[in-house]
Amino acid sequence: MRQVLPVLTDYTNERINTGRMQAHAVEAAEQCGATFVPDVLEPVKLLDFLANWPAKRKLMFCDEGRAALPVAQALAGEASGPWAIIIGPEGGFSPEEVTALRGLAAVVSVTLGPRILRADTAAVAAITAWQMALGDWQ
């Protein structure tokens, strides 16, 4: 993971403290002996973020409100390369945001299972599932 980009959605209900997030990234890197720390960028609004989405970069959309496929099935046959992962806020995405996400050709909709996860847990679960599906985690 090279960057963490907080995305503001219609249902975002917390103030985002990027300085605190960067401190957590440093602490996590120190704890696991990582040789780099991902940059925590300033938040952007979801629809602005999607408006400039590069066509060649896949986006794994953790789509809890739809009968999406499990990660391993959804990513079967997908190439590695530039990817990003997006998880929803508490309360999920608004209908307008879901429509915008599903409308991008680069989006691969996945489910993380039947449970609703906290955002921090969902992020770790999504990254791990993505790594496993693309062969980066054995």
Say what the pLDDT of residue 98 is. 92
Say what the pLDDT of residue 72 is. 86
Say what the pLDDT of residue 137 is. 57
Which of the residues in the chain have pLDDT under 50?
none
| Whole-structure pTM value | 0.81
Cα(41)–Cα(25) distance, integer angstroms: 12
Say what the pLDDT of residue 78 is. 79
Say what the pLDDT of residue 95 is. 92
Distant-in-sequence, close-in-space partners of 130: CB < 8 Å, separation ≥ 6: 60, 71, 75, 83, 85, 136
Q: Which domains does the chain have, with CATH numbers?
A: 42-133 (3.40.1280.10)
Residue type, 29: A
**Two structure tokens written together for 84:** 């990003």
